[in-house]
Amino acid sequence: MSYSVNISVEAPTENQIQEITYDGTEIYQPPLTLSESLAKYAQKIDFSKTSEVEIKKEESNEDSKSDTDSKDAFQSSLWPWDSVRNKLRNTLQEVCVLADVLAIAKDKRYLVLDPVQQEPLETKPMVQIYARKKALAGAASVLLAGSEKMKNSQNEAARSRTTLDFHIELLRLRQNWRLKKVSNTIIGDLSYRTTGSKYLQTGTFEVTKAEDEEKVTSPPSSPLPGGPAPVKPTSALRVSIPSELQGVAYIEVLCQKDQEDLCTANLTLLGSGPPPSNPDMHWQQKLEAAQNVLFCKELFNQLAKEAVQLQAPIPHMVVGNQIMATVLPGIQLIIALRHSTSSDKKQQNPPPSKSDHDHVLEHSLHQLLREVHHKNTHHPFPHPATGPLGPSKKRMLAGPTAADRYELLEMTKTQTLLEQIVQQAQHFIMRMRTEYVLDTIAKEVKDPLITSHWNTLNSPTQSCVKIHISTHGYDAVCRTPLIIHVGEKSLKCICRDGKVMNMSYEPQELRDLIFCHINQHQILAVQALAKTMGWQALGNSNHLGTGTVEPLGNASSCLLSSPTGDRIIAVRCEPSDTQVSVAHSPRQDFFPSRLVTERKWEHLGGQFRDVRLDKMEGRNFLHKMELLMASLTSSS
């Protein structure tokens, strides 16, 4: 006390640590305000013990007034610095007294200062050791508990190695699907927007972490057929799909004739029928199914919109989930959206598909919308950087090539999806009808053989068939080729002589044409055969005006004479049957009569007598004719 040392006191630069958690995070105390810290430091001033009694006395006085504890006594008093002031006053008094005492003691006349014997401080080493031991044991137990916990979690992870890590799964998901993080959730997008779709409905799904449930114990009950990836035991990842995209959807295309199905096609993107939609389905299949639903919805939406807008002679009908368009008179194209959610899947199972399931229409619908998508994103090159995007390449070139207004008007015409699919359906029916007519004729007519070759290369709206009419065994002598172009609503037949016949969609017209050509073929073949036999063709007619009237077309005929000219064969071909007659030139039944007396008139030729072809030998008509001509030639 006799000497003083300068002590500088300053606050530490960082706040005091209140607590250190196990993971090492330090929790700081909030910094004190200026007045708080001043009050704190004032409180810390160590006044001598002697004054404490007085302070206590004062505080106890204050306690009796207000029921606060001694620590915040100074706060509750009238003036916050009251206690400090008291202490300082007491200190001042003491200092004054001390100074007086010292001044008196200095004189050494009235007062003498004697040193006082101090008691040695008692140290107890064992107590210290025990205290340290206890503290160390406490620290050790904290560390041991921590290491135990870490070991446990390590073992847990090792045991559940079969379930895939959430982050690995997420990585796989990200490789195939678009994901983004919105605050704390992961949102994915399965719409076709990035590939050019302009459909408004969003296809967002949410990715969450699957909780550890009893799923681990249940092994996969049935492996999915044709799944792209091997079935995982469990997935650490769960995708939640909006309710309108759940379930299974497909587009059904039906060609109906008087309520009778002509063809049916089911469109499913997965191809393998309705996939099971149990909740434990793998996310990949779940997302693919949802995407399929979205695609089908967009396709149907587009078709329905066009069906309402199009001005067809027979208006298209849109009722509920079904579009009905008239393809050809009496034949309707029905496009329906079938969407079954998982709950009522069992009842709504589609009936087993018909035998004439058509994959072409199924594929076309699919392809048409993809094409639209493709066009939306792929603009034709080159296009100027300043030019507008969107117009076709043809329109882009219209300016520099100086297209006139008619060409420009033509360019604005585009075909809608519905128009295209209707055209394809029309062509499909035309092709089927043509096939049917050709097959039935080939079955009905045995004598000239009818073979048809369908071109393997064709477009969705045009195909071509080549027909050969020939006689078995006489292919080299004569064959009649025909080419039929099957269009959308009409047929075009190019005949042997280059004539072009245009026919409507009625199958009867084609049937008549083929029969007409069969007759002509028979007559031409007989003439060709006659030439090889040395007979002479006297004349022929493809459309004979005489004889009985045929139900369709005209009969064709020809007249042949033997090499020596003494025999004449007349052939008449008509769809119902073929007539052959023979005449002898020196007529054998010539008897002079009163009008024709002279013998020379017998060379004019006699009466034609019918040959009963059905009684003749020979495989077919030409064979019989060959035998007939041979026999007539040899007898002369």
Partner 1 sequence: MGVTILSQFFLDNKTGPQTIEVLSKRIAALGAVQQGHFLVDCETYTSVPQLGHQRTVHVLHNSEQPATVFSLLDNGTKITSLATDGLFDLLMMKMSHFYTSKKQTKVESKGLRYEIGDFCVKLGTVTVSSNCKGILVEVEYRPCVVPAMCWDLMKEFLQGFLGTAAPTNPPAYLQNKMQDIYFPIDTIHQYLDHFTMLRKKLFIS
- Contacts with partner 1, residue ranges (CB under 8 A): 384, 386-387, 395-396, 398-405, 408
Task: Report in angstroms how near the CB of residue 372 gets to partner 1 at its nearest.
Answer: 25
Nearest residue (CB) to partner 1, 382 versus 551: 382
Question: What pairs with residue 240 in β-bridges?
Answer: 206
Query: How far from the centroid of its chain's Cα atoms is residue 146's Cα?
Result: 52
Nearest residue (CB) to partner 1, 407 versus 444: 407
Which amino acid would we find at residue 149? K
**Angstrom distance (rounded) from CA 506 to CA 472:** 30
Task: Report in angstroms how near the CB of residue 230 gets to partner 1 at its nearest.
Answer: 57
Query: Are the CB atoms for 545 and 529 separated by under 8 Å?
Result: no
Task: Report in angstroms how near the CB of residue 408 gets to partner 1 at its nearest.
Answer: 6
Q: What is the DSSP string of 422-449?
A: HHHHHHHHHHHHHHHHHHHHHHH--SEE
Task: Report in angstroms how near the CB of residue 618 gets to partner 1 at its nearest.
Answer: 59
Nearest residue (CB) to partner 1, 394 versus 468: 394
Task: Report in angstroms how near the CB of residue 500 gets to partner 1 at its nearest.
Answer: 24
Composition of the chain by helix, strand, coil, percent to 5: 40, 20, 40
Write the burial class of residue 248 (CB in 10 Å: 0-12 exposed, 13-18 middle, 19+ buried). Answer: buried
Write the burial class of residue 269 (CB in 10 Å: 0-12 exposed, 13-18 middle, 19+ buried). Answer: middle
Task: Report in angstroms how near the CB of residue 378 gets to partner 1 at its nearest.
Answer: 21
Nearest residue (CB) to partner 1, 395 versus 492: 395
- Tokens for 255, please give them: 């060609």
Is the peptide bond preceding residue 279 cis, with omega within 30 degrees of 0? Answer: no
Query: Are the CB atoms for 617 and 572 separated by under 8 Å?
Result: no
Nearest residue (CB) to partner 1, 31 versus 388: 388
Contacts of 428 (CB under 8 A, 6+ apart): 255, 263, 358, 360, 361
Which amino acid would we find at residue 530? A
Nearest residue (CB) to partner 1, 400 versus 545: 400
**Angstrom distance (rounded) from CA 158 to CA 161:** 5
**Angstrom distance (rounded) from CA 369 to CA 416:** 10
Question: What pairs with residue 486 in β-bridges?
Answer: 463, 491
Task: Report in angstroms how near the CB of residue 389 gets to partner 1 at its nearest.
Answer: 13
Task: Report in angstroms how near the CB of residue 380 gets to partner 1 at its nearest.
Answer: 14
Nearest residue (CB) to partner 1, 42 versus 398: 398
Nearest residue (CB) to partner 1, 116 versus 402: 402
**Angstrom distance (rounded) from CA 74 to CA 78:** 8
Residue keyed to tokens 């034949």: 331
Task: Report in angstroms how near the CB of residue 393 gets to partner 1 at its nearest.
Answer: 13
Q: Residue 299: which H helix or E strand, with range?
A: helix 283-309
Q: What is the DSSP string of 37-67?
A: HHHHHHHH----HHHHHHHHHHHHHHHHHS-
Query: How far from the centroid of its chain's Cα atoms is residue 334's Cα?
Result: 21
Q: List the alpha helices (DSSP H) in 461-545.
A: 507-533
Nearest residue (CB) to partner 1, 157 versus 409: 409
Contacts of 68 (CB under 8 A, 6+ apart): 75, 76
Task: Report in angstroms how near the CB of residue 401 gets to partner 1 at its nearest.
Answer: 7
Nearest residue (CB) to partner 1, 219 versus 384: 384
Task: Report in angstroms how near the CB of residue 382 gets to partner 1 at its nearest.
Answer: 13
Nearest residue (CB) to partner 1, 186 versus 396: 396
Task: Report in angstroms how near the CB of residue 328 gets to partner 1 at its nearest.
Answer: 37
Nearest residue (CB) to partner 1, 386 versus 459: 386
